[in-house]
Structures are given as C-alpha cells and as structure tokens.
Structure 1
Amino acid sequence: MRKSSLVAKLLGTFTIIIGISFIITATVLSFWFQDYHFQQRKDQLDSEGKFIATAAISHLNQQKEDTLDELLGLMNFVSKSMNADILVTDYRGIVYAVTNSQDSDLIFTKLDITAMDLLQKGQPVEERNVKNKSSGRTEYIYYKPMFLGNQFSGVIIMVTPLSQIKEPLKKVYTIIWLSAILALILSSIVIYYFSEKILINPLGKINVAAKRIAKGEVENRVYINSNDEIGELAKSFNIMADSLEEVEKNRREFISNVSHELRSPITSIKGFIAGILDGIIPKDKENYYLTIAYDEIQRLARLVNDLLDLSAMEAGKLKLNISKIDVNEILKHCVINSEHKIKTKKLKVDVVLEGDNLYALGDRDRLIQVITNLIDNAIKYCNENGNLKVITKSRGSKVLVSVYNDGPGIPEIEMKYIWDRFYKSDKSRTNKISTGLGLPIVRHILNLHGEDIWVENKTVDFGVTFTFTLKKI
C-alpha cells in the first residue's frame, strides 16, 4: 500500500482519530476506576471501623483489662482481613491500642493529627500519598472519628501501603490499555477492509476506465452497484463516457462526410481537367465540361464556407450585428434572388406579408442567409409545378416567418435528425446540390439571436412548413 494512496491516508486519519479516542477513553476509565477502587477501600475501612469504634468506646467507658483484650482482638482480626495497620487514640490524640508491634512505642504518645478539627466534627479523613519517614514507603491513611452520643471520643487510624492498594489496579490498567490497543488494531483492519470494498475498489475501477477512455477506448463503462455518492459518481462517469462516445462518433461521421463531400467534386474536377489535358474530350465539348468543373468548384466553395460558418458559430466566435430590419423587405429580396431556381422548377410562389413593413431586431446579412437557406430547401423538395408559400405575421412580441412547400412530408423518425450536420433526408435527389449543412446553420444563427425554429408536416404524405421567430419592434 503506497504511503500516498487514498486508503493509506484514510487509514492513517481514522487510526489517529480512533487512537486518540481510545487513549482518552482509557485514561478516563483508569482515573475513574482508581477513584472507584479507593472509594471501595474507604467504604470497607469505614464499615470495619464501626465495629472497632464500638469496642473502643466500650473500653473507654469501663477501663478494664478484658475490654482492652477484646478491642485488640477485634483490631487484629480487622487488620489481617483488611491487611492494614490500625491505631486507636482518645479524644486528645493519645494512642492506647495498636495492631503492629513495631508501633508499640507509640502507645501513650500523642499524635499530631493535622485534620483533628474535621474529625472532631465527625467527618472522616483520608490521605492517599503519605510518606512514612521511618519505613520510606508511601501509605494510604484513613482516619475515622469515634463518638459517644454527641461527644467526640477518639480516632481510629487505619494505615495501608499504597502499593498494596494499587497492585490490583495495575492488572486493571493492563486490561484497559491492552483492550484499547486491540480495539485500535481491529478497527484499523475493519476500516481498511471497508475502505477497500466501499471506496478504493470502486474508485480504482473508475480510474482504470478513465485511463482507457483517455487512450481512445470510449466504449468503456463502469458498473458499480451502489446507491451512495460513489454510485452517483459512476453514473455521472458513464454519462460522460456516453457523451464522449457520441462526440467521437460525430467526429468520425463528420470526417467521413466531409471526406465524401470533398472527394466527389474533386474527383469530377480532376477527371474533366485530365480529359481536356489528355485530349480525350473533344475541343467542342471543352467549354461544357469546364462549366461542370466550375459548378463543382462552386459547390466546394459553398461547402468550405458553410463549414467555416458552422465552426465559427459552434465555437461562439460569430459576432452578430443586431439592428432594426424590415422582415418583409428581406423576404421579397430573397424570393427575387431565387427567381431563377423557381422558374426552373415551374413553381407557384405565394408571398403573404403582414402590412407593408414588419420590423424586428436581427442581423440583416445572417437573416438573409437563414431565409435563403429555407427557400432553397423548400425549392429542392418541391415537385415540378409545385407550390411554395412564404408568410410573415406578428404574434404578441414576436414576428413569425414561415416557409412552406408541398413536397413530400418529413417522416416522424427523421424529424430530430434534420438539424444534424450532413444529414440529407433524400440522398439520391440532393447529393449534388445539397451539403447537408443548410439547416444546422439556420438553427445556429437563430440560436445566436435567442430565437426558435421548428418544422411541421401539413399531412403525413406532403406539405412541410419551417417557422422561426424574431423579436418584434
């Protein structure tokens, strides 16, 4: 596992967080258990001290030998059971009974008890870290006051080596800290396992797929069965891959279409010129074939210009010169310019304009290009002696321009493709006169104006109307 990998960073982060949590928990438990253990010791000493207090008060009242022996016997029993040295003093602090023979020199000696004021008020006192000067050991001392009625009668002093009390705590501390370490190791393993399964492996799949797509394998997809953010990322990745595959498909189709559109006229031009140069074509036919070559060159020029226009529009580099225009005047101009094509197909043209003038906002040159393309498209698909109709009308804040021809209807399945580059509904009829770029250019120009264009069939079999909008003035 690399130090810089995501799983290493996650594992390290979570391990530190959990480790700190366990350390804090173990420390709190250690202090809590220590306090609990000392409290338990205090409660035991206090409970046993009650029996000693009863015997001591009885001895103080009777002052007999047998009561002293009874007191000493009880003190020795408690001392052995609690493993503690016990001393008993009177109300002045003078020792009169001990359990440890080494403390016998303290009998009839007055002890300097610093907490005597608290004891006289009936409050037990404990001291946890008292250094014994003679033995050098650290001791735990518990002072229990004795009362006869409301009268302070003396003190029971119980002394226990601190190491003896803390011995059981060491085992508890060991268990607590070992448990914390084991829990830390176990949680790290669990985090590593689930990080690999839930996060690292899915991200690895996405990473591998991304590298393959970068190498051109755009058909690669990621399949992750998850409803969380990773699953959403995989879905988004697949959507991106679909888009890239579509872009790649369009790119290949574009190159193929451009190659086809260029190859056909270039082949014709090459053949005609080669025939003239080689003398295969008779002299009287040279002008005829040169005219055909010229038409093919014109077709190539239209194709290149259309491609340049479309590329500029798609790249957002085409700047519009928006101004006030007369839509009716532009329509008349475009129809007159198409007069030769109209007469060639013997079409009946009906121009229906709203008013003498109909003003809108737009780029005059680009809108002439739009209307010309729509009229040319209508002429192409009209049958001989067919009908062509151009209409302008206003509706609210919009000017609507419609171009109708009574040629064959557009099949419903092809409606969504007519705006694609190089798409030709009738390839056999339009191969020589259409580049398949006219309608895409029309739509891009109108999109740049912020306007819409749509197409409708009059019936299933014939009649097609293209309609676009402009902002009315």
Structure 2
Amino acid sequence: MKKNSIVRKLIITFSSITGGLLILVGLVLTIWFYKNDYNGTVESLNKQLDVVSEAVGSYLKSQEGSYEEIGRLLEIACLSNNMDGIIVDRLGYVYIVSNSKYDYLKYTNIDISSNKVPTSNKLEYSKKLIKEYSNENLGAFIKPIYSNEKLDGYIIMLQEEKRSVKHTIIIIWVAVILAVIVAAAIVKYFAELLVVKPIEEINNAAKRLAKGDVDERVKVINDNEIGELAQSFNIMAQSIEESDIIRKEFISNVSHELRSPITSIKGFIGGILDGVIPKDKENYYLKIVYDEIDRLARLVNDLLDISAMESGKFNLNISEFDINQTISLCILNLESKIQAKGLNVKAIFHENRCFAIGDRDRILQVVTNLLENAIKYSEDNGQIEVNISTKGEKIYVSIFNSGETISPEDINHIWDRFYKSDKSRTNKISTGLGLPIVRLILTQHNQDVWVNNVEGKGVKFTFTLQRNS
C-alpha cells in the first residue's frame, strides 16, 4: 500500500476514531467496574463491621461478651470479604487480630494519624496503612469504634489487591485492543474491495486510454460515487473515441480535398512542360490550374478560419451595420452564378433600414455561404427568397431555395465538416466547410442558425442577429 494512499489514510483515520472511542469505552468500563466493586465492598463491609463495632462498644461499656466473641465476629466479617482484620484502641495499639500472621502486631502501636482517619461512623480507605508491608500493596478500610459517643478505637480491615478485579480489567483492555485491530482489518478489506480495486481499474483503464486505446471502458458495478466516476470515465472515453473518429475522418477528408487539386495541377503543369499539351490548349489548361489553385486557397482559408474560431483566437470587429445593405451586396456579388442557373432571387425587407450589431465582414461571409448553398441546391430556373424580419431585440434572416428537401439522414450532418449530401468527393464547387463556418461565426456572435424543410417546395435556412434598438 502506498505511503500517501487514500485507503491508508482512511484506515488510519477510521482506526484512530474507532480506537479512541473504544479506549474511552474501556476507561468508562474500568472506572465503573472499580467504583461498582468498591461501593459493593463498602456497603457489605460496613454492615458487618457495625456488628463488630457494636460488640466492641458493649464490651468496653459494660464488659458484656469477651475478646473471643469479638474475635469470632471479626473473623466472620473477614471471611465474608476475603480480608484480614485488626482492632486497635484510640491510641493505635493493637489488641485483637483475625489472622495469626499478624500476632506480631499485638500490643504494638500503628500510626493511624498519618492516614486518612474517619471523622464519623463510616468507612475510609487507606492505600498503605502498615508501612512494613507496603511492598505487598496492602490497603485498609478503617472504621471507628464509639462508646458513649467517644472514640474508643478502630477496626482495620486489611485488603490485598484483588486478582479477579485485575484480571477483569486486563480482559477489558485486551478486548479493546483486539477490537481496534479487527476494526482496522475490516476497514482495510472493505476499503480495498469497494474503493481501491474500482479506482485501480479506472486508473489502469485511463493509462490504456492515454496510450491510444480509445475503445477502453470500465464496468459500472455500484450505484455510488465510484460508480458515478466509472460512468463519467466511460462518457469521457466515448467522447475521446468519437473525437478520434472525427479527427481521422477530418485528416482523411483534408488529405483527399488537397490531393485532388494538387494532382490536377501537377498533371496539367507536367503536361505543359513535357509538351504533351498542344500550345493552343495551354491557356485552357492553365485556367483549370488557376481554378484548382483558387479552390486550394479557399480550402486553406476555410481551415484557418475554423481553427481560429475553435481555438478562441477568432477576433470579432463588432460594429453597427445595415443588414439590408449587406444582403443586397451579397446578391450582387453572386449575380453571375444566379444568372447561370436562371434563378429568380427575391429579397423582402420589412424595414427600409435594419441595423444589426456584429462583425460586418463575418456576417457577409455567413450570408454569402448560405446564398451559395442555396444557389448550388436550387433547381434550374428555380427561386431563392431572402426574408429579413425583426422581433424584439432579434433580427431573423431566412434564405429559402426551391428544390429537393434535405433527407432526415442528411439534415443531422449538414453542419459537419466536409459533409456533402451528394456524397461526391469530386465536387469542385464546395469544400464542405461552408455550413460549419456559418455555425461557428454565429456561435461567436452568441446567435443561432437552423434549417427547415418546406414540404413540397424546398429548404429554408434561418439565423438570428442582435438588433440595434
């Protein structure tokens, strides 16, 4: 696992949080267990020592009972609580012990004043009462003995460390540590299963995609963030594959469009130089060469325009201009082509002057491309109608040509570069870039363009411009 791996950080974070919570639970359980054990011991011991204290008080007060009877009561209390007991007078001298191993303490003085001495008729706990045995961790419960409301001594219950309590605490903390380890192992397993492996699969697929394997895809297994990531990767891969197909088609189309005129130019020039073409035919073939060069120039210029627009380096010279005048100029420029097909061109201006905001030269290019397209696909002696209307802040320019309508298959592709509905690659009139340039120019102006079939009549292209109100 990598040092900066997300899963490693996830395991550390989760384990830290889980470990902290479990340690807190362990501390709470330890404190509760100790407190509960202590309270239970004190409650039980207090009741039994009350009997012993009462017996000692009665003996001191009226000499009722005997040392032996007091000793038996003390032994019962000791056996019930697994402790050893001694009784001292108010000065600290020992006069009764429950276990013979403490006989050496009889009639000796225990310095009780150096410990926490109870001030009322209740138990107090002292960690180390008998200094000589401090290394045995002897703790002691001390209970005062009163006679005639005067302090007459103390009952001291000596307690060795409880092994059962210690054992229980060890079990608690071992369980806490094991729980942390098991939790970390479970997190690691599920993190690798649900996060690491899917991400690694996506990562490996991305590397293969970067090497050119554009048909690479990943399986979308889960409906979660990882599944969404896999789905997004597949969408990206699909887009890259489509772009790669378009790129290959573009290169193929450009290569063909360039090869055709270059082959013609080379053939005709070679024929003239070799003397194959007669002298009286040279001007005719030079005119063909000139047309092919002009076609190449138009193709290169169109490609440069498309490249500039798609790369964001296309600068518009925004100004106010009369769209009516611009359309009239385009019609005049194409008059020879219009007359060659015997077309009837009609321009309908709803206002004498209609001012638009945009790059006049580029809009002139848009109108020219659309008109040339209309001339190309119009039937001989057909009709072209240009209509300029306004609505709100928009100007609507529509160009209709009579003739055949566009098939549903073609209408979805007419904006693609090098697409020609006649499927002819030898068409020397069109480069197949006119309509894509139209759309790109209007997109740069934040305007729209669309096409509609007029059933039984022809085709109409419409685009919008910003009106200068």
TM-score by length of 2: 0.91
The equivalent position to 2:463 in structure 1, one of 453, 461, 468, is 468
1:15 is matched with: 15
Assess, with a 3 A threshold, how the Cα gap between structure 1 residues 201 and 59 changes in structure 2: closer, same or farther.
Answer: same
| Alignment of structure 1 residues 17-416 onto 2, 5 Å | 17-64=17-64, 66-89=65-88, 96-101=95-100, 113-114=112-113, 119-130=118-129, 132-133=131-132, 136-146=135-145, 155-161=154-160, 164-165=161-162, 167-416=163-412
Q: CA deviation at 1:469?
A: 1.2
Instruction: State the distance in 2 between where 1:430 and 1:106 align.
Output: 126
Instruction: State the distance in 1 between where 2:156 and 2:311 align.
Output: 97
Q: Secondary structure at the match of 1:133?
A: helix
Q: Could you list the per-position Cα deviations for residues 49-76 of structure 1 after superposition, in whole angstroms to 9, with x for gaps in the alignment? A: 1332343344334414x44322211212
Assess, with a 3 A threshold, how the Cα gap between structure 1 residues 49 and 60 changes in structure 2: closer, same or farther.
Answer: same
Instruction: Give the letter for the 2:463 counterpart.
Output: F
Q: Secondary structure at the match of 2:365?
A: helix
Q: State the Cα RMSD in Å.
A: 2.7
Q: CA deviation at 1:465?
A: 1.0
Answer with 206-215 or 12-21: which moved more.
12-21
1:450 is matched with: 446
Instruction: Give the letter for the 1:468 counterpart.
Output: F
Q: CA deviation at 1:145?
A: 3.6
Specify every segment of 5 or more residues in structure 1 that has no aligned partner in the other structure, as ranges: none
Instruction: Give the letter for the 2:83 counterpart.
Output: A
Instruction: State the distance in 1 between where 2:214 and 2:99 align.
Output: 92
Assess, with a 3 A threshold, how the Cα gap between structure 1 residues 91 and 131 changes in structure 2: closer, same or farther.
Answer: closer
Instruction: State the distance in 1 between where 2:92 and 2:401 align.
Output: 126
Instruction: State the distance in 1 between where 2:316 and 2:115 align.
Output: 103
Instruction: Give the letter for the 2:459 counterpart.
Output: V
Count of residue correspondences? 468
Answer with 354-363 or 102-111: which moved more.
102-111
Does the aligned pair in 2 maintain the 1:53–1:146 contact within 8 Å?
yes
Q: CA deviation at 1:45?
A: 1.9
Q: Secondary structure at the match of 1:423?
A: coil
| Identical-residue share of aligned pairs (%) | 47
Q: Secondary structure at the match of 2:403?
A: strand
Instruction: Give the letter for the 1:59 counterpart.
Output: Y
Does the aligned pair in 1 maintain the 2:46–2:122 contact within 8 Å?
no
Does the aligned pair in 1 maintain the 2:118–2:124 contact within 8 Å?
yes
Q: Secondary structure at the match of 1:408?
A: coil
Q: CA deviation at 1:346?
A: 0.4
Assess, with a 3 A threshold, how the Cα gap between structure 1 residues 298 and 136 changes in structure 2: closer, same or farther.
Answer: closer
Q: CA deviation at 1:432?
A: 1.9
Q: CA deviation at 1:376?
A: 0.3
Does the aligned pair in 1 maintain the 2:115–2:126 contact within 8 Å?
no
Assess, with a 3 A threshold, how the Cα gap between structure 1 residues 457 and 116 changes in structure 2: closer, same or farther.
Answer: closer
Q: Secondary structure at the match of 1:436?
A: coil
TM-score by length of 1: 0.90
Q: CA deviation at 1:436?
A: 0.9
Assess, with a 3 A threshold, how the Cα gap between structure 1 residues 451 and 121 changes in structure 2: closer, same or farther.
Answer: same
Does the aligned pair in 2 maintain the 1:130–1:138 contact within 8 Å?
no
Q: CA deviation at 1:219?
A: 0.7
